[in-house]
Each structure stands twice: as C-alpha cells, then as structure tokens.
Amino acid sequence: MQVFNVEGMSCGHCVRAITQAVQSKDPAASVKVDLGAREVGVESRLSADEVISLISEEGYAVKLA
C-alpha cells in the first residue's frame, strides 16, 4: 500500500471525491482515508505519480508520505 499526505481533506465529501478519482482509473483500487492524520492509503495498480495526479486534479495538495 502506498501512503500519501493530503492537505485540505475535512469531510465525507473529500473522502468520496478522492476515492472516486482513484477508482475512476482503477476500479479495483482500495482507498483508505484517515482524515485526522491527513493520510490516504492506496492499494492499486496505478503508480504513485498517477495517484498524486488524480488527487491533485480534485484540488488537494498531495505528496508521497
């Protein structure tokens, strides 16, 4: 699992937006969001750069943890 630090997440809508963004490119991806820690864990065939790009497109500042 790859873990990313994501700034700006605050609610269920953020969780859904990020999950849907990743799963739009990899429907089988597992996405675990920890709002308190500002972390997103992604288990996917996508590369870290692809995941960062997808989350960034949703308007979040994101980097590999």
Nearest to 31 by CA among 43, 39, 21: 43
Q: Enter the pTM of the model.
A: 0.93
Cα four-point dihedral sign 11, 58, 44, 28: positive
CB 59 within 8 A of CB 23: no
The per-residue pLDDT for range 6-65, each reduced to its tens digit, is 999 999 999 999 999 999 999 999 999 999 999 999 999 999 999 999 999 999 999 999
pLDDT at 15: 97
- Distance between CA 64 and CA 27 in Å, rounded? 21
- Domains in the chain: ranges and CATH: 2-64 (3.30.70.100)
